[in-house]
């Protein structure tokens, strides 16, 4: 089994993987020098904190091993540097749930994220991934099954986590959101720009963790399932699997045209109106965020006098958003946006 092989490979690099323990402090320096006796969560339960390891110390007395132990493989160093951050995030993920009172469930979440950080070296681990992985752990007893469901989800979302000093991974979605609000509610868009929120970065978290903070646990799963069904595209994983249409093109054949009924409702509307050809693929999550802004439009216009007010009003949505109503509102906004864009065509 591939997951078991990857996990064993990670265990060979760090013995904490698969041990039931969670690293919560750095175990290596950026120069590749191992740190002896890092803080490790020995009993990962809700009522116990981290505990200090043994009393063994290195020759230099400051917890850093002798230079002879220095690692030189940059990929392994980068991976080890992320392990404690994964641990800290795991301890903050869905901690109100009884499920995570069992230390084996916390360590299972840590193990999966540690293995994923190793196999996806381009993206690695980023904050927010624990929120996306947690439902897989809760729903599936088998750790390997949970890993593969998370890995499949990351194929959709890994682009969100590609951040540089110049741009954030969700930048395109934020730009789409700005364009949509400008078309559908220009007064609100102008107000947000006046407040200094014209870049729409306040919506960053909604895109990154797919409304996990705005919805209850059950509603977030309900919303995810609706989103994936609505925007289903038979070729959506063509970069990971054999793509028949791409093969046809390279062999000089005409691409196969799939029946429209094979697409989800959202994608059918895009195909019918040529939206993807004009604007590129806009995920339905953008219209979901737009529906949240539209729902709170009057409150934002009347009460928001600065970015702090804007964030406070939107934070009040946390845990109170109705998934079904939000999805229905998003589809209505999508249809309205398509009509307006069609009307602008020459």
Q: What is the pLDDT of residues 12-35, one digit of tens each?
A: 999 999 999 999 999 999 988 888
More confident residue, 77 or 66: 77
Domains, the chain, ranges and CATH? 2-161 (1.10.8.270), 171-344 (1.10.472)
The pLDDT of residue 158 is 86
Is pLDDT at 1 greater than 70 in this prediction? yes
User: Which token pair is 87?
Assistant: 């641990």
CB-based contact 101:45 (threshold 8 Å): yes
Question: Comparing C-alpha atoms, which of 37, 62, 61, 65 is closest to residue 51?
Answer: 37
133-184 confidence digits (pLDDT tens) = 999 999 999 999 999 999 999 988 888 887 665 556 788 899 999 999 999 9
| Residue 272 CB partners (closer than 8 Å, separation 6+) | 260
User: Which token pair is 223?
Assistant: 């919303």
> What is the pTM (predicted TM-score) of this model?
0.80
The b/e string for 193-231 (b: 16+ C-beta within 10 A; e otherwise) is: eebebeebebbbbbbbbbbbbbbebebbbbbbebbeebb
Average pLDDT over residues 240-253: 37
Average pLDDT over residues 176-200: 93
Query: 266 by DSSP, 3-state: which?
Result: helix
User: Which token pair is 58?
Assistant: 């290195």
Q: Comparing 50-54, 118-122, 181-185, which segment has the lowest mean pLDDT?
A: 50-54
More confident residue, 36 or 105: 105
Residues 126 and 135: their CA atoms lie apart, in Å, by 17
**At 249, is the pLDDT very low, low, confident or very high (cuts 50, 70, 90)?**
very low
Average pLDDT over residues 251-269: 58
**At 39, is the pLDDT very low, low, confident or very high (cuts 50, 70, 90)?**
low
The b/e string for 132-164 (b: 16+ C-beta within 10 A; e otherwise) is: bbbbbbbeeeebeebbbbbbebbebbbebbeee
93-117 confidence digits (pLDDT tens) = 998 899 999 999 999 999 999 999 9
Is pLDDT at 47 greater than 60 in this prediction? no
Average pLDDT over residues 302-326: 88
**At 90, is the pLDDT very low, low, confident or very high (cuts 50, 70, 90)?**
very high
Question: Comparing C-alpha atoms, which of 146, 118, 119 is closest to residue 14?
Answer: 118
The pLDDT of residue 246 is 36
What would you report as the CA-atom Rg of the chain, rounded to the nearest whole angstrom? 23
Angle at 111 between CA 113 and CA 80, to 5 degrees: 70
């Amino acid at each position: 089994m591939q997951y078991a092989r990857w996990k064993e490979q990670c265990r060979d690099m760090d013995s904490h993987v698969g041990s039931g323990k969670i690293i919560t402090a750095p175990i290596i320096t950026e120069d590749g020098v191992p740190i002896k006796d890092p803080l490790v969560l020995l009993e990962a339960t809700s009522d116990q904190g981290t505990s200090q390891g043994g009393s063994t110390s290195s020759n230099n007395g400051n917890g850093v091993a002798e230079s002879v132990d220095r690692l030189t493989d940059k990929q392994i160093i980068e991976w080890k540097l992320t392990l404690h951050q994964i641990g800290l995030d795991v301890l903050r993920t869905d901690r109100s749930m009884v499920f995570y009172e069992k230390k084996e469930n916390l360590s299972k979440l840590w193990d999966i994220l540690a293995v994923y950080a190793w196999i996806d070296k381009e993206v690695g681990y980023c904050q927010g991934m624990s929120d996306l992985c947690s439902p897989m752990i809760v729903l599936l007893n088998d750790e390997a099954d949970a890993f593969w469901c998370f890995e499949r989800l990351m194929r959709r979302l890994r682009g969100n986590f590609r951040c540089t000093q110049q741009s954030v991974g969700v930048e395109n979605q934020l730009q789409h959101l700005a364009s949509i609000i400008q078309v559908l509610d220009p007064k609100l868009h102008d107000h947000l720009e006046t407040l200094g929120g014209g870049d729409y970065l306040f919506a960053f978290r909604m895109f990154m963790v797919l409304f996990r903070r705005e919805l209850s646990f059950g509603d977030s799963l309900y919303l995810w399932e609706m989103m994936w069904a609505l925007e289903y595209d038979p070729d959506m994983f063509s970069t990971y699997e054999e793509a028949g249409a791409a093969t046809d093109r390279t062999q000089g054949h005409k691409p196969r045209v799939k029946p429209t009924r094979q697409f989800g409702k959202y994608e059918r509307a895009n195909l019918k109106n040529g939206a993807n050809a004009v604007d590129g693929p806009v995920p339905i999550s953008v219209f979901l965020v737009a529906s949240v802004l539209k729902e709170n439009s009057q409150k934002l216009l009347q009460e928001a006098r600065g970015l702090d007010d804007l964030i406070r009003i939107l934070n009040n949505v946390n845990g109170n958003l109705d998934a079904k109503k939000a999805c229905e509102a998003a589809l209505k906004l999508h249809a309205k946006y398509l009509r307006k864009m069609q009307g602008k065509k020459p």
